[in-house]
Amino acid sequence: MSGVGAHGDGDQALRDALPVAPSYAANAPLREEVGAKRERDEEESIEERRRAGDKLYAEAEKAAVKLKQTAETEVAADRRVVQAERAALDVEKAAMEKTYAFQTKKILLNIGGREIHSSTFLLNVCTF
């Protein structure tokens, strides 16, 4: 028994040598400080994400403006090309209408007292 008692006395000595753990109530200020730091960290994190989102939005807005300007420039260039092609087509239409009017124009031929109606197209096609 003396061994058991000696062993028990050693445990008590060890317990006495260890610092006393603070109670839950004694840790309340520390817990409050840690909680407040977590809240500040969360608020800072939210603010950082908001700033990053604002920056991303501003960059996207700039890119959209640039894209719109590029598209407007391309549309204006395409519009000029279409207008030039339309003007050339109108000139070609007018020339074709003159040709058609010339070809379908009826003329009166008086050959030896006989009157013959013909078109200028037919007279141009015939080779005598």
pLDDT in tens, 61-112: 999 999 999 999 999 999 999 999 999 999 999 999 888 887 778 888 888 8
Please name the helix (run of DSSP H) or strand (run of DSSP E) that holds residue 63, with its range, or none. helix 28-104
Whole-number average pLDDT of the chain: 84
pTM assigned to the model = 0.44
Cα 84 to its chain centre, rounded Å, is 31
How high is the pLDDT of residue 84?
A: 97
How high is the pLDDT of residue 6?
A: 53
Residue 2 confidence (pLDDT) above 50: no
d(CA 122, CA 104): 9
| DSSP string computed for 7-46 | HHHHHHHHHHHSPPPPPTGGGHHHHHHHHHHHHHHHHHHH
Q: How many residues does the chain have?
A: 128
- Tell me the mean pLDDT in the region 20-45: 81
- Tell me the mean pLDDT in the region 9-29: 70
How high is the pLDDT of residue 128?
A: 62
Q: Return the top range by mean pLDDT from 1-5, 24-28, 81-85.
A: 81-85
With contact defined as beta carbons under 8 Å apart, do 118 and 109 qualify?
yes
